[in-house]
Chains A and B, each alone.
Chain A
Amino acid sequence: MTAAEHHEDWWQVPRRRADRRVVTGVAGGIADELGVDPIVVRTALVVLTIAGGWGVPLYAAAWLWSSFAAPDDAATSRPKGRSEQHRHLAIGLGVLGLLLLVRGLGLGFIDTLVWPAAALALGFVVVWHRARADDIDLATSLAGGASTRWTGIRIMAGVAIAAGGVTALFALNFDLNAASHVMLGSVVVLGGLALVLGPWIMRMINDLTRERRLRIRSEERTEVAAHLHDSVLQTLALIQRNADDSQAMVQLARRQERELRNWLYGGGGAPDATLRRALLDLAAEVDELHGVPVEAVVVGDFDGALDPSIVGLLGAAREAVVNAAKHSGSTKIDLFCEIMDDRIDVFVRDTGRGFDPDAIPDDRRGLTDSIRGRMDRVGGDVRVTTTVGEGTEVELSIPHPAPETST
């Protein structure tokens, strides 16, 4: 086997990661090369750093070496043929060997510090390794639900090893029996547990929040979809079927537009019993029935559309609008209502043909009479202004039914 083949077969000069890196991407790059989780490499470096600081020169060496690698070198290829367990075992044994070597050299090596730290690190890796891929398993096993047997065993073993490491670290370095150290001992054990399990709990919380957000969003989407289906899509289907009847099409489109507007801007659960709502509905109905656009503008509001005087006012307004739609020939009707502190005014205006008030045929007498009749009964005023050829305006005015409780 030549050197070149050897190089290509199982090892390439590591390339530092450009993304998903912690410091310079060296550990991630090595992990990519070896086909293991970067957490394994990073933990090994930490342990070696504790062991007399050897992780630092190793890291620096790896950095120098990898920096000479051609950036356009072959794509990351994970070694094949060996199982991941084997690779982990190899790394573990390599680290162990290095530790023993360093210990033999006696360079800044502290038994009571390094071995517990190594145990803690091992536990950490056992719990953490591939945790990302096992997210769901981890979540369910924590929640006490069903999980794969191996995940449970792995987690328990990892926690046990890490706890042993923490305890040893502490027992070997401090006098556990000293009362002043009991508190410290608890803190250290808790800290160790937090180190091992903390990130995991954080992730679970994140997952739960994300899941909740997604659910809310999907519920909203379902609601919107349902509404659009019931309204807009149905109307579009109707329009396609009535494509040759342009009048019907316009009416359908207009009604749909208004419904959609109400839904979008109407504030959803707005009560129907407000004067504003009643007037907008009135305009919509007449528009639909007679095919003349009614532009309704309402200033202020009053939430007592069932008040007798309001009912009278609405009835009169409806007659005025219907009348304009039927007889004026105007292309558009303006309906304006202003709710003031002391009174309510309604104006219905068209720019149609107008009429001569003295020459109204008897059969159309009903208009003014019935409007006047309604307004008289509720103590309101009517004024009709009309000019032949220019249009008509009906002004209705009533005292505010409940000035004290107005909204």
Chain B
Amino acid sequence: MTRRVSVVIVDDHELVRSGVRGALADDIDVLAEAADVDEALDALVHQRPDVVLLDVHLPGGNGSAVISGAAARGVETVFLALSASDAAEDVIEVIRAGARGYITKTISSDDLNDAIRRVADGDAVFSPRLAGFVLDAFAGVIEAPDDPELDQLTNREQEVLRLLARGYAYKEIARRLTISIKTVETHASSVLRKLQLSNRHELTDWAHRRRLI
């Protein structure tokens, strides 16, 4: 489990980049930093990092533009959204574009390193806030789904999300639900997949409505 992880940090604020860099553990290598969408794509194509720490808001397009641009260039990497934004639609947008997780910039160093290692291993990373957003997005708001498979969370997935929103770690969820950690991870990934594949613009409507409540 001591595999090294390489990352590229994408954020338009120099201070944030150096702060993140300083918080990373020894087994995480920063290959490059980028301040906007073009720089980020350039760095991704040339450096091919395991993980991209991606700010949601960027000059020249948002984080989602980096994700789609990387896909168009055939870069295989995973994205972990890192943001100070509380705007649900921003977060949902970047997750729907393909980010494997979302954490806030106030996260502790240990949690940050842990999150990076986990997305590098293919897991989804849910902060309590992201879990809340996703629950909100899937909660009764959406009716007449196109594809019931994709448009609804299973009871188990909801259970997992609720525990995540309550601040439980995967390990604790596994113990509480008496399932394996692997199964918890599978549920989390499948929630992300549903969020990405369901083609409902209602998600965006929801986000807008939510701000108006």
Chain A interface: which of B15-23, B70-78, B131-139, B190-198?
B131-139
Distance, CA A13 to CA B132, complexed state (A)? 74
Chain A 278-316, CB-CB to B under 8 Å as 1, else 0, gives 000000000000000101011111010000000000000
Q: Are B211 and A334 in contact (CB under 8 A)?
A: no
Query: Provided the pairs A336-B162, A338-B162 are in contact, do residues A295 and B213 lie with their beta carbons within 8 angstroms?
Result: no
0 or 1 for each of B98-110: is its CB under 8 Å from A? (1 = yes): 0000000010100
Q: Assess the B128–A298 pair: CB atoms within 8 A.
A: no
Check B86–A265 contact: CB distance below 8 A: yes
Is residue A374 within 8 Å, beta carbon to beta carbon, of the partner chain? no
Contact yes or no, A298 B132, CB < 8 A? yes
Does B165 sit at the interface, judged by CB under 8 A? yes
CB neighbours of A393 from chain B (8 A)? 166
Closest to A276 in B: B213
Instruction: Indicate if A407 sits at the interface (CB-CB under 8 A).
Output: yes
Would you list which residues of chain B between 132 and 149 have a CB under 8 Å from chain A? 132, 135-136, 139-140
Q: Are A338's CB and B213's CB within 8 A?
A: no
* Any B CB within 8 A of the CB of A347: yes
Q: List which B142-201 residues lie within 8 A (CB) of chain A.
A: 162, 165-168
Task: Assess whether B212 is in contact with A336, with CB atoms less than 8 Å apart.
Answer: no
Residue B45 is within 8 A (CB to CB) of chain A in the complex: no
Known: A334-B166, A336-B167, A407-B213. A293 touches B106 (CB 8 A): yes
Q: In this assembly, does B129 line the interface, its C-beta being within 8 Å of a C-beta of chain A?
A: yes
Q: Note all chain B residues with C-beta closer than 8 A to A359.
A: none
B129 nearest in chain A by CB position:
A297
Residues of B within 8 A of A80 (CB): none
> Which residues in chain B, 80-105, are within 8 Å of chain A measured between CB atoms?
85-87
Are B132 and A349 neighbours in the complex by a CB distance under 8 Å?
A: no
**Residue A267 at the B interface, CB < 8 A?**
yes
Residue numbers in A under 8 Å from B162 (CB-CB):
336, 338
Asked if A274 is at the interface (CB within 8 A of a chain B CB), the reply is yes
Interface residues in A320-378 by Cβ distance below 8 A to B read 331-332, 334, 336, 338, 341, 347, 349, 351
CA distance A289 to B106 in the complex (A): 19
- The distance in angstroms between the C-alpha atoms of A338 and B212, with both chains bound, is 18
Residue of A264, A267, A298, A341 touching B212 (CB-CB under 8 A):
A267
Contact partner, B132, options A261, A293, A297, A331, Cβ 8 Å: A297
Given known A265-B87, A297-B128, A336-B162, contact A349–B136 (CB-CB < 8 A): no
- Among residues 237 to 270 in chain A, which have CB atoms less than 8 Å away from a CB atom of chain B? 261, 264-265, 267, 270
The interface residues of chain A lying within 8 Å CB-to-CB of B139 are 299-300
A270–B212 CA distance with the chains assembled, in angstroms: 7
Q: How far is the CA of A303 from the CA of B165 in the complex (A)?
A: 22
CA distance A248 to B125 in the complex (A): 32
Q: What residue in chain B is nearest A302 (Cβ atoms)?
A: B213
Please pick, from A301, A331, A347, A407, the residue contacting B166 in the complex, using a CB distance under 8 A.
A347
Decide: A341 and B140 in contact? CB cutoff 8 A. yes
Inter-chain CA distance A295–B103, complex, in Å, is 12
Neighbouring B residues of A265 by C-beta, 8 Å: 85-87, 211
- Checking B132, B140, B211, B213 against A336 with a beta-carbon cut-off of 8 angstroms, the contacting residue is B132
Cβ-defined partner of B165 (8 Å) among A261, A276, A301, A336: A336
The answer to whether A338 and B135 touch across the interface, beta carbons within 8 angstroms, is: yes
Question: Contact check: which of A293, A300, A334, A351 meets B136 at CB < 8 Å?
Answer: A300
C-alpha gap A341/B141 in the complex (Å) = 12
Contacts of B165 in A (CB 8 A): 297, 299, 334, 336, 338
Residues in chain A near residue B140, CB distance under 8 A: 341
List residues of chain B with CB within 8 A of the CB of A299.
132, 135-136, 139, 165
A248 to chain B, nearest CB (A): 18
A393 to B173, CA, bound (A): 13
A–B Cβ pairs within 8 angstroms, 22 of them: A261-B86, A265-B85, A267-B212, A270-B212, A270-B213, A293-B106, A297-B128, A297-B131, A297-B165, A298-B132, A299-B135, A299-B139, A301-B213, A331-B108, A336-B132, A336-B162, A336-B166, A336-B167, A341-B140, A347-B166, A349-B168, A407-B213
- A299-B136, A299-B139, A338-B165 are known; give 20 further A-B pairs, CB within 8 A: A267-B211, A267-B212, A267-B213, A270-B212, A274-B213, A276-B213, A295-B129, A297-B129, A297-B132, A298-B132, A299-B165, A301-B213, A303-B213, A331-B108, A334-B167, A336-B128, A336-B165, A336-B166, A338-B135, A347-B166
Of all A-B residue pairs in the complex, the 7 with the closest CB atoms, nearest first, are A334-B167, A297-B132, A336-B166, A347-B166, A265-B86, A299-B135, A336-B165
